[in-house]
């Protein structure tokens, strides 16, 4: 049983259940029940749900609890386009800063990621994919952009991508293009490769979420009360 000790862990758990379709739009989450299910106190659960409310995934209803909101195809596209812009700029800067040692680290992470894909190790693929992008961002050496990227990534269903048919192969190809651009110290190519990696995922992710009834066709996001 999951036993998170921090609000971030609780938020990650709930966010994943929303994106995999377990928690459908319109469902209410109650603090006491969720805290009991996860084996934690009510305090981190309340903080986590308020944070998810601020992200537009939940809305707080007086005397009823926190309700899961519908997502839209536009939401998915908006997140990807912000990731593409910021991530592309970080990759371009990384191309100007990258050392042979960092390139070796990046290739090693990618090799491990591809092995994890072949073994259908979901948790490991999510972790290694995160490490790949984190390292590119670190080499980009822009703390503010990295902070923005970290914030927007919370809105992206990272755990869903490895389960989308054809995505592991596409992601592998995209990551290898990024590595190649970095190895050539080609900032423009690195920016394009990373930006295209994020935007290329919009269509398959949207189709995947529509098939599972996770996203809605129209945008409606009432403010958090």
For the chain, give every domain's residue range. 7-69, 74-205
Crossing angle of helices 202-211/187-200, nearest 10°?
Answer: 20
Work out whether strand 65-68 and strand 71-72 pair parallel, antiparallel, or are unpaired.
unpaired
Residue 139 CA: distances (Å) to CA of 55, 143, 163: 28, 10, 29
For 50: left if phi > 0, alpha if psi spans -120 to 50, otherwise beta; the answer is alpha
Q: Please list the pLDDT of the chain residue by residue as tens digits (225 residues).
A: 444 457 888 988 898 888 888 898 899 998 899 999 998 999 999 999 998 998 888 999 988 889 999 888 998 999 999 999 999 999 999 999 999 999 999 999 999 999 999 999 988 999 999 999 999 999 999 999 999 998 888 788 888 899 899 999 999 999 999 999 999 999 999 999 999 999 999 999 999 888 888 886 544 444 454
pLDDT of residue 5: 58
Which CATH number is associated with domain 7-69? Answer: 1.10.10.10
3-state helix, strand, coil in the chain (%, to 5): 70, 5, 25
Q: Which of 142, 156, 150, 152 is nearest to 89 (CA)?
A: 142
pLDDT of residue 118: 95
pLDDT of residue 4: 42
| Buried b or exposed e, range 73-112, using 16+ CB within 10 angstroms | bebbeebbebbbbbbbbbbbbbbeebeeebeebbeebbeb
Q: Which of 87, 58, 100, 111 is nearest to 196 (CA)?
A: 87
pLDDT of residue 103: 98
Q: Is residue 59 within a helix (H) or strand (E), and if so which, with residue range?
A: strand 58-61
Query: Quick one: how far is CA 95 from the chain centroid?
Result: 23
Work out whether strand 71-72 and strand 58-61 pair parallel, antiparallel, or are unpaired.
unpaired
Which CATH number is associated with domain 74-205? Answer: 1.20.120.530
pLDDT of residue 218: 46
């Amino acid at each position: 049983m999951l036993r998170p000790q921090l609000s971030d862990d609780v938020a990650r758990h709930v966010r994943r259940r929303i994106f995999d379709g377990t928690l459908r739009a319109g469902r209410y989450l109650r603090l006491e029940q969720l805290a009991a299910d996860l084996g934690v106190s009510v305090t981190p659960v309340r903080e986590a749900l308020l944070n998810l409310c601020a992200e537009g995934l939940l809305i707080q209803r007086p005397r009823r609890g926190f309700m899961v909101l519908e997502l839209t195809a536009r939401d998915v596209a908006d997140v990807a386009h912000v990731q593409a812009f910021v991530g592309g700029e970080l990759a371009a800067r990384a191309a100007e800063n990258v050392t042979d040692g960092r390139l070796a680290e990046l290739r090693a992470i990618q090799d491990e990621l591809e092995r994890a894909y072949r073994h259908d190790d979901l948790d490991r693929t999510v972790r290694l994919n995160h490490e790949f992008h984190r390292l590119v961002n670190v080499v980009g050496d822009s703390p503010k952009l990295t902070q923005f990227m970290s914030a927007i990534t919370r809105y992206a269903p990272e755990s869903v991508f490895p389960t989308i048919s054809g995505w592991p192969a596409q992601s592998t190809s995209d990551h290898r293009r990024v590595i190649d651009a970095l190895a050539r110290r080609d900032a423009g190519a690195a920016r394009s490769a990373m930006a295209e990696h994020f935007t290329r995922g919009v269509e398959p992710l949207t189709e995947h979420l529509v098939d599972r009834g996770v996203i809605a066709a129209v945008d409606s996001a009432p403010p958090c009360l």
